[in-house]
């Protein structure tokens, strides 16, 4: 950047003198005295180290170097005006802006839509940019600064992040109606034991997902999965398609349970409970839009999370 830039008012005065061809005419147009305009021109020329005008009986004419300065001054003042408009717009509470949010796949499918709808109603000027991924990738996105806020399910939080619990969610064991375990439903029993689950190939979410972490935290070492799937919808479809058991969010299979396509199976000595957490950088304060979304998620506990079947 050029080190000797006169103040904006002095550059505007140079342009006025050029447009009106004399200091006197420029003074009348600006509503200043001739002495004020002359002093501003002199000060600008001193700062620039360039004689901008030749002064004579006929008025003020730009020098060759002065013409270059005046052309550049027009561009500079245009840029200053654009900058000022952007800053003024950004400072308005209703200015359009975006909020990128990293959300684990399960939370994105089951819970986030209701939060987003409420947030949009309260903040229509803010565009939510949803980034669905597994819990591990959510932590990376927030830690790397790509997103100021994330939501995950599970028991652990990435190193270097803070978290706030927004709800509790129970996972349940389900099987297709044709599976032998379907006779052990919540009304008739007997329950499946944790030991049976450890020995049984289950349909599982992919490694790094919050759901997978909960199952492995509760059961410890498990059998090689019957299949691993990268989304909640794929996991749900695989239960019916493959005919194998899975541990899944109760809300994700509410329709299938109601229709009788799937059956909930009681587990005797294990409970699959996970926390729904918001994650954010450890140092610093959440900016207002992220804080508003976090408040909505917390208030949504009664409807979106915390329900088990």
Cα–Cα nearest to 171, from 224, 225, 214, 124 = 214
Cα–Cα nearest to 219, from 159, 187, 169, 171 = 171
Q: For residue 135, what are the CA distances in angstroms to 59, 153, 205, 221, 236?
A: 73, 7, 11, 21, 18
User: Is residue 278 pLDDT above 80, yes or no?
Assistant: yes
A 10 A CB-CB count for 48 gives 20
- The pLDDT of residue 139 is 87
Omega of the bond leading into 161 within 30 degrees of 0 (cis): no
- Helices of type H across 92-134: 105-110, 112-122
E strands of 65-137, at which residues?
97-104, 126-133
Task: Summarize pLDDT for 222-255 with one digit per residue, the tens.
Answer: 999 999 998 888 999 999 899 999 999 898 899 9
User: Is residue 159 pLDDT above 80, yes or no?
Assistant: no
DSSP 27-40: HHHHT--HHHHHHH
Q: How far apart are CA 50 and CA 45, in angstroms?
A: 5
- The pLDDT of residue 305 is 41
What is residue 216's three-state secondary structure? helix
Q: How far apart are CA 84 and CA 81, in angstroms?
A: 5
User: Is residue 189 pLDDT above 70, yes or no?
Assistant: no
Bridge partners (DSSP) of residue 53 are: 62
CATH 3.40.50.720 for the 95-301 domain, yes or no: no
pTM of the model: 0.59
User: Is residue 306 pLDDT above 80, yes or no?
Assistant: no
Cα–Cα nearest to 115, from 141, 146, 144, 150 = 150
- The pLDDT of residue 304 is 42
Distance, C-alpha 173 to centroid of its chain: 33
Q: Degrees (nearest 5) of the Cα angle 284, 290, 291?
A: 75
- The pLDDT of residue 307 is 38
**Same CATH fold assignment for domains 8-91 and 95-301:** no
A 10 A CB-CB count for 222 gives 17
| pLDDT mean across residues, the chain | 86
Q: Degrees (nearest 5) of the Cα angle 185, 235, 117?
A: 100
Domain spans, the chain: 8-91, 95-301
Q: Are strands 227-229 and 203-205 parallel, antiparallel or unpaired?
A: parallel
Q: How far apart are CA 185 and CA 281, in angstroms?
A: 43
- The pLDDT of residue 149 is 94
- The pLDDT of residue 158 is 65
Domain 8-91 fold is: Arc Repressor Mutant, subunit A (1.10.10)
CA atoms within 13 A on the CB side of 280: 17
Count, residues in the chain: 309
Contact 106, 213 (CB under 8 A): no
Task: Work out the average pLDDT over 203-217.
Answer: 87
């Amino acid at each position: 950047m050029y080190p000797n830039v006169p103040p904006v008012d002095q550059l505007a005065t140079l342009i006025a003198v050029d447009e009106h061809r004399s200091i006197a005419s420029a003074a009348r147009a600006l509503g200043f005295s001739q002495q004020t305009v002359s002093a501003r021109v002199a000060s600008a020329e001193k700062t620039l180290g360039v004689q901008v005008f030749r002064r004579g009986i006929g008025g003020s004419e730009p020098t060759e170097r002065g013409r270059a300065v005046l052309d550049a001054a027009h561009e500079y003042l245009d840029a200053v005006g654009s900058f000022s408009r952007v800053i003024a717009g950004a400072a308005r509470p209703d200015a359009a802006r975006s909020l990128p949010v990293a959300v684990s796949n399960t939370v994105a499918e089951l819970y986030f839509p209701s939060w987003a709808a409420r947030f949009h109603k309260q903040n229509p000027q803010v565009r939510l940019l949803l980034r669905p991924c597994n819990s591990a990738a959510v932590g990376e996105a927030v830690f790397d600064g790509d997103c100021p806020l994330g939501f995950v399910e599970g028991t652990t939080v990435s190193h270097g992040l803070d978290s706030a619990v927004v709800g509790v969610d129970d996972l349940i064991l389900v099987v297709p109606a044709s599976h032998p375990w379907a006779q052990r439903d919540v009304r008739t029993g007997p329950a499946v034991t944790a030991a049976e689950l450890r020995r049984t190939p289950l349909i599982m979410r992919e490694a790094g997902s919050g759901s997978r972490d909960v199952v492995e935290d509760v059961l410890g070492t498990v059998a090689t999965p019957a299949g691993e799937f990268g989304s909640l919808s794929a996991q749900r479809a695989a239960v019916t398609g493959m005919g194998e058991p899975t541990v899944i969010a109760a809300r994700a299979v509410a329709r299938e349970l109601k229709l009788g396509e799937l059956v909930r199976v009681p587990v005797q000595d294990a409970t699959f409970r996970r926390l729904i957490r918001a994650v954010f950088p450890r140092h610093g304060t959440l900016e207002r839009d992220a804080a508003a979304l976090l408040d909505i998620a917390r208030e949504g506990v009664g409807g979106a999370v915390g329900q088990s079947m």
